[in-house]
């Protein structure tokens, strides 16, 4: 399990396939602010709520200079189904090897009903135009999280 990121850290670089299998890198967004959010699994209730909330607020965030990228350990094919079923507009990236999840501290030990296991820690990292971490939020709730980010960022 890697260290959690802190504001001021350089955001780890990544290049991952999107829902269509096209490679997308953090570097593609240089000069723009990027909200990178990590979620456990496509097509699950909490992750669907969060992805729909980001999609519903995408124009508002884009207007304030933010791009939004969602990353999960799912395969691109599952992400494509997720995007189609829920009519999602956010960029969804596949990280089945969990390299980006690990680099961002979004994969690690979790507890659920008294059991400890390794899994995706629902996290949101805001990266500034220069590639530095502006905010690092871990163990966030799926519901209400997007509204909170918008409020915190003053969008």
Q: In this structure, what token pair is assigned to residue 104?
A: 């961002």
CB neighbour burial string for 16-36, b if at least 16 within 10 angstroms, e if fewer = bbbbeeeebebeebeeebbbb
Tell me how far apart the alpha carbons of residues 139 and 124 are, in angstroms, rounded to a whole number. Answer: 9
| Backbone conformation region of residue 55, classed left if phi is above 0, alpha if psi is from -120 to 50, else beta | alpha
Active site residues per annotation: 47
For tokens 């965030």, name the residue.
61
51 with 83: CB under 8 angstroms? no
For residue 40, what is the DSSP state?
A: S
Residue identified by tokens 């990544």 is 14
């Amino acid at each position: 399990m890697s260290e959690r990121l802190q504001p001021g850290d350089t955001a780890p670089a990544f290049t991952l396939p999107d829902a269509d299998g096209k490679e997308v890198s953090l570097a593609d967004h240089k000069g723009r602010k990027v909200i990178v959010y990590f979620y456990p699994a496509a097509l699950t209730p909490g992750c669907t709520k969060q992805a729909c909330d980001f999609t519903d607020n995408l124009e508002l965030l884009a207007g304030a200079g933010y791009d939004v990228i969602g990353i999960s350990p799912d395969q691109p094919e599952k992400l494509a189904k997720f995007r189609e079923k829920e009519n999602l507009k956010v960029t969804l990236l596949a990280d089945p090897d969990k390299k980006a999840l690990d680099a961002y501290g979004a994969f690690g030990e979790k507890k659920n009903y008294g059991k400890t296991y390794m899994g995706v820690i629902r996290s949101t990292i805001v990266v500034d135009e220069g590639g530095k971490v502006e905010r690092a939020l871990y163990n966030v709730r799926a519901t209400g999280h997007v509204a909170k980010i918008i409020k915190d960022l003053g969008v």
